[in-house]
Amino acid sequence: MIQLFYTLNLLLLSSCLLAFRLKTNERLLSLSIVQTLLFLPLLAWQYLYLYYTRPSQALPLLFFSETLFGIVWFCLAHRMRRSTLTTVQESRFFMPIQIAIGSALFVLTSYYLTIHPLALISENLVFNLYDKIYFGAFFLLTCMLYSAWRLEEFWRVLEQGRRWEYKFLIIGCYLVCGTFVWASSYRLTYQCLPVSHFTLLAALMLMAWFLILYAVIRHRLLNRKMFISRKVVYSFVAPSFFAIYLCILGIISIIINRFGLSLPFVLRWFFLTIGIIGLGLFLCSAKLRRRVQFFISTHFYVNKYEYRDEWLALSHKLQGALTEAEVVAALQEVLAESLYTNNILIWLGDMERGYKPVSLNSNQENKPITTLSGDDSLILFLKEHPYFYLRERKTDNAQAAVEKKMTTLYLDFNLVLMAPLFIGDQLVGLIGLGSEFTGGRYGHDDFDLLTALGTQTASALLAVRMAEKLAHLRERQAWDKLSAFVLHDVKNAATMLSLIRENAPDHIQNPEFQQDMLEAVDDALVRIEKVQKRLSMLKGDAAPIFQNLEFGSFFNERCLKICAKLGRMQVESNFTTKIWLQTDPELLERIMENLLLNAFEAGGDRTTIRINIYKDEAQREAVIDISDNGPGIAEDLLPNALFDPFKTSRPQGTGIGLWHVQQLVSSLKGSISAGNSENGGAIFVIKLPLSGE
């Protein structure tokens, strides 16, 4: 046990080396407080051990531990005062001096152990004047008096509003100083060390430790940024509690064995089973785990939440959100994982239409739907304030005016906090939260989290709304353009028929007029049929019927007939082997008809078209290459703009044909690309899947 005490003391001494990495006075003070919290119970443990066992070599251990504690305590008082001076840095010689004194103590203790061993501690150990124990007591007395002076100076410079945070710390520190001043004075006066003092010293050290620990935890005096991830800390909670439970069982077993007793086999495994069951209940209880997380976040971290993690989690969930419902679902999921409440309600809307709940929980589905109008008192209040908290003390008439409305929401949905969703000056929604199941109150960390996530969500909602408006606008523009050429064709046909009808009473018996009338009716029917075909193309309801098709026979049967109707346009083909396609003949004919008609309209009667087809065995595709000697495609339409609807470079063109061709090729599981050849003509490349043959 003596070796264990020496090891722990040396570890605490080596912790002073961390001071070389800490630059600010506040962090150095935090290090000293942690060292003190570790040293006080260790010192009390040593006192109790020496009192009950009184082993040999005890006095060197006592001298070593008390002197080392005097150094740590001196550093605590020194840094406590200097932490209030933000412009003063610790001397660079302070740490080396502390390490040198500790090293000297280690050498001196080793000398005690090897050269001058002492006997067992008696009831009253008497030592000589100016002995090493005498100087050790004098050193301890000096450190305590200096510390008391520094503590008084630290208390005096504290602001009145912060003294209540440090009162238990100061009381505990003065208890330590008073205890060691009394013990050192007694030793120096009577030159003896009563063993009975050890129990009193241990009790006073533990009392001071509890006071200091309470101040540190209650007022978060170690409120420094921890670089350990919360997730790592959370994952160690359950194993740590189970390990502590096992350690307690081990200590009980040691104590029982010390007194010659034995722990029955049944009880030993019974207690072990209880610990395992408790661990299982902790892992299975989500509410209990959340309470532990809440305690850790509010007592050991600067902020209650890890804002970066919550922000990234919401960003990840919003990536695939295309509708308002998906955005709201992402926000509600992140809030449920972050906040310590199970009651979350979100309103969406605007000042004109009002705000309607869109994310009811299972316990809210049977509640009345509360729609908030744009001129509601709560809405007007939230447009000027970042939140409204029902449990916050009301300080002005504006808050008191909306309390009645908030009370209604509390009765209907158990909501106590409302926060707005703002983007710029637009209020796009509201977030309502119920009470925390931990029993705590909402604070600035909660308001900051709601502001950060609310702004991010409002931006996503605005983007979704703008995308929907843009889609509707494009649909309207497309319909307007489509209506333009439909109305044009119908108007022309109607005009010709109207002229015939006006002249019919006077010229109906004229054979030439009769012939013209028949031609006008035929022309009107052709125009109406063209309009009908164009409208049917835009339905997008062409379902392909796949079958094996040999391209050579298909070309001779259908494509050449199309070309025969297009004047003197020449078609040259180049495919000697049979190539089988997996396609729909009707849709492929419509594709070829559109491409051939476009080439004819661009180049006229003297247009020459070359069609090549070959296999791409690697991709299991057939490549159809269609080129002409016409004027080519405008550069601003390449490579893909010409496939957009209503994009055309011809004055009489509608811009629908190539867009329709692309839709048909895609339905056949193929692809199409366009470009200009070296001779200046246009070239289209269609790739379609090969047949299994």
More confident call, 559 vs 537: 559
DSSP secondary structure string for all residues of 469-536: HHHHHHHHHHHHHHHHHHHHHHHHHHHHHHHHHHHHHHHTT-HHHHHHHHHHHHHHHHHHHHHHHHHH
Domain membership of residue 478 (yes or no) is no
Q: How far apart are CA 565 and CA 560, in angstroms?
A: 9
Q: Of 39-48, 160-169, 236-245, 626-635, which gets the smallest average pLDDT?
A: 236-245
pLDDT at 225: 47
Whether residue 519 is found in the same domain as residue 399: no
Q: Per-residue pLDDT averaged across 552-570, rounded?
A: 69
Beta bridge partners of 288: none
Say if residue 119's pLDDT is above 50.
Answer: no
| Average model confidence (pLDDT) across the chain | 76
Confidence category of residue 289, pLDDT binned at 50, 70, 90: confident
Whether residue 251 is found in the same domain as residue 169: no
Whether residue 316 is found in the same domain as residue 434: yes
The domain boundary, picked from 200, 224, 248, lies at: 224
Domain membership of residue 35 (yes or no) is yes
Residue 449's domain is classified under what CATH number? 3.30.450.40
Structure tokens at 281: 């209940």
Q: Of 110-119, 436-445, 669-678, which gets the smallest average pLDDT?
A: 110-119
pLDDT tens digits, one per residue of 353-389: 788 888 766 555 556 667 788 888 888 888 888 888 8
Pair 379, 348: CB distance under 8 Å: no
Domain membership of residue 487 (yes or no) is no
Whether residue 621 is found in the same domain as residue 681: yes
Domain membership of residue 299 (yes or no) is no
What percentage of the chain exceeds 90 in pLDDT? 4
Confidence category of residue 126, pLDDT binned at 50, 70, 90: low
Helix (H, G, I), strand (E, B) or coil at 260: coil
Say if residue 540's pLDDT is above 50.
Answer: no
The domain boundary, picked from 479, 502, 537, lies at: 537
Whether residue 250 is found in the same domain as residue 359: no
Pair 144, 180: CB distance under 8 Å: yes
Whether residue 79 is found in the same domain as residue 205: yes
Whether residue 311 is found in the same domain as residue 289: no
Q: Structural domain tally of the chain?
A: 5
Whether residue 327 is found in the same domain as residue 185: no
Helix (H, G, I), strand (E, B) or coil at 434: strand
Q: Per-residue pLDDT averaged across 553-570, rounded?
A: 68
More confident call, 628 vs 82: 628
Half-sphere exposure of 669 (CA within 13 A, CB side): 14
pLDDT tens digits, one per residue of 44-85: 988 888 888 776 566 777 777 888 888 888 888 878 767 665
pLDDT tens digits, one per residue of 186-216: 888 887 778 888 889 999 999 999 999 988 8
pLDDT at 493: 66
Whether residue 203 is found in the same domain as residue 237: no
The domain boundary, picked from 180, 205, 224, lies at: 224
Whether residue 69 is found in the same domain as residue 163: yes
Domain membership of residue 242 (yes or no) is yes
Confidence category of residue 567, pLDDT binned at 50, 70, 90: low
Domain membership of residue 485 (yes or no) is no
Domain membership of residue 318 (yes or no) is yes
Whether residue 574 is found in the same domain as residue 611: yes
Whether residue 84 is found in the same domain as residue 144: yes
How many residues in the chain?
693
The whole domain housing 341 covers 307-469
Within 8 A by CB and 6+ apart from 247, the residues are none
pLDDT at 123: 56
pLDDT tens digits, one per residue of 480-506: 666 655 665 666 667 667 767 777 777
Domain membership of residue 526 (yes or no) is yes
Q: How far apart are CA 205 and CA 36, in angstroms?
A: 11
pLDDT at 465: 79
Q: How far apart are CA 343 and CA 684, in angstroms?
A: 60
Q: Of 50-59, 97-106, 121-130, 573-582, which gets the smallest average pLDDT?
A: 121-130
